Amino acid sequence: MTTVGTADGGAPAWRGGFGRLWSAAVISRFGDALRTTALPLLAIRLTDSPLVIASVTACGYVPWLLFGLLGGAVADRVDQRRAMWAVDTVRGLLVAGFALAVGLGHASIPLLLALAFLLTTLQTLFDNASTALLPSLVDRAALGRANARLMTGQQLAGGLLAGPVVPLLLAGGAFLPFAADAATYLLAAALVASLRIRPPEREPRPAGSTLRAEIGEGLRALWHDRVLRPVCLATLLCNIGMGALIATLVLHVTHWLHAGDTEFAAAMTAYAVGSLAGGFVAQRIARRTGRARALLLGGTVQTASLLLMGTVRHLGALLAGMLLLGIMNMVWNVNQVTLMQHRSPEAMVGRISSAFRTASTSGAPLGALLGGAVAGAFGLNAPALCAAVLFALAVAALIPAGQADVPVVAPQDGPTTAHVTR
């Protein structure tokens, strides 16, 4: 397998494959943000039912629960580059067809639900293939910086740049955000298709090997890894906590703090700015502490931030808390993904990645329901405090992983290193 050389002592070189992958990821995230912002706005034009409108969002989660593990197994079987550009081409055509339907006045709630479900179903393959492809493009020493640059670029495009563009596009027609999203998918597909790398060399699968059996191998490898298992559990707990917070944040701002829409937007902006800052410091923190201990630090700071938000009834406390949450969330994401890429056997990166993502996605809707129940029972600041408890539990779960970091799975770690019996 060929890799692009590193520059500046471990930084990924922009020329060649990584620069194209970065551009494709950022362009695609920009389009995704246009669509996800415009979709609920279109939904409220078609119905006034909160349940139906919420169902549009739910359709963005359900495919991960149904197909997430399957997407990881398929990503480990196929040429990941071809899978990515093929998926983006199909998604571009789907969204283009939807934009045409909206432009002709044929939009409907069933069409919105179908679009959300199909796009996320395809995403289960794309995201896992993308995670598995990156080690083919950069040296292992550069994976941390590569992940940081990818995530920071995506946050900049999706978190800050896309939001102000949506109203301008909507002024020209309800179909325009979706047409722009379709164009970004097709452009990203062209960039990924232009990558010139050899597919990874894989051992031949035994006769009769099934996707179900291969999914089981990936899950067992994750379970038996002494670092990845607690990291996965901690990530699930954190996502439940964030789901509880985000689902009720508008009530926290407008009712508990007695602030308005502008203050709510300021809180979300503080989180986005923090995420960008986190992308610049994630690798520096990892170099000083090690990746597993960087997660411990991130979880501890986030716990303190949530306690601040839940106990101090002041807008400044909220903004400071959201800023710190954004910084440490990016530190967490960069180091969690890089740690997983380093410790996963090459042939199982897609499957282990899918287990992480499936756990993460299942935590968000569960947390949203928990946040609503806690807010109703104990007060509108209670979801932030509940999230703080969950983050504290996540930090406790990470303690076994906070030993010396091992970049690649070592023989004493057990079944993850040994080739799983097939």
| Residues 92-110 pLDDT 10s | 999 999 999 999 999 898 9
Lowest mean pLDDT among 130-144, 193-207, 278-292, 330-344: 193-207
Q: How far apart are the C-alpha atoms of 390 and 364, rounded to whole Å?
A: 13
3-state secondary structure of 2: coil
pLDDT band at 51 (very low <50, low <70, confident <90, very high): low
Using pLDDT thresholds of 50, 70 and 90, give the confidence band for residue 223: confident
Greater pLDDT, 185 or 80: 185
Assign 166 a pLDDT band (cuts: 50, 70, 90): confident
DSSP class of residue 345 equals: -
Selected residue with higher pLDDT from 408 and 111: 111
Structural domains for the chain: 10-198 (1.20.1250.20), 214-406 (1.20.1250.20)
Q: Which residues of 134-170 are buried (b: 16+ CB within 10 A; e: fewer)?
A: bbbbbeeebbbbbbbbbbbbbbbbbbeebbebbeebb
Q: What's the pLDDT at 410?
A: 40
Predicted confidence band at 50 (pLDDT cuts at 50, 70, 90)? low
Mean pLDDT (whole number) for 294-306:
96
Q: Which residue do the tokens 């669509």 mark?
A: 35
- Block residue for tokens 């800052």: 277
Identity of residue 249: L
Q: State yes or no: pLDDT of 1 exceeds 50.
A: no
> What backbone torsions phi and psi does residue 173 show, to the nearest 5 degrees?
145, 145
pLDDT tens for 357-416 read 787 777 877 888 888 889 888 999 999 999 999 999 999 999 887 664 444 334 334 333
Which position has the higher pLDDT, 218 or 118?
118
Q: In terms of pLDDT, which residue wins out, 18 or 90?
A: 90
Question: For residue 318, what pLDDT is reported?
Answer: 95
Element (H, E) at 11: strand 11-12
- Return the pLDDT at 403: 60
